[in-house]
Amino acid sequence: MKDQSRKRHLAKTITWRIVGTLDTILLSWLITGNPWTGLKIGLAEVITKMVLYYFHERVWFKINLSKKGIVRESRKRHIAKTFTWRGVGTLDTMLLSWLVTGNPLTGLKIGLSELLTKMILYYLHERVWYRIDFGLKSRAN
């Protein structure tokens, strides 16, 4: 199960990063009015967010195993993961936006604007992945 779960978490990391980066690019462009700034911020976060997301997935996997080694899933778990990931992701976006634009207020605006869009997108991403068995030997119902 260990190797399979790592493959699953890697696949989830990649798919979420695609969705998340596109959202960041669009929001950054809208807030700064400059598509190149949006692109710079979006591309800057690809690596940091993939690393952070992978470790977030590993932590949640380890704290949510039943005694039989079967992953327990629920809407409450997805909501909790959404909020914890959004906290980590927003801080990362704020810092990167500040570094790219040189303006802490712009970093704050971009980070805060992501709160709603990213939480909705992340929750939907979790629900889709919950229905996919890739990387799972068994699932608790």
Owning domain of residue 40: 2-130
Task: Calculate mean pLDDT across residues 96-125.
Answer: 93
The pTM of the full predicted model, rounded to 2 decimals, is 0.74
Kindly give the residue spans of alpha helices, DSSP state H, lying in the chain: 2-32, 35-63, 75-101, 104-130
Q: Are 46 and 54 in contact (CB under 8 A)?
A: no
Residue 137: per-residue pLDDT: 74
Q: Does residue 126 fall inside a structural domain?
A: yes
User: How many structural domains are present in the chain?
Assistant: 1
Q: Does residue 33 fall inside a structural domain?
A: yes
- At residue 119, does pLDDT exceed 80? yes
The residue to which tokens 């570094």 are assigned: 99
Report which of residues 3 and 24 the model is more confident about: 24
Q: Does residue 95 fall inside a structural domain?
A: yes
Q: Does residue 116 fall inside a structural domain?
A: yes
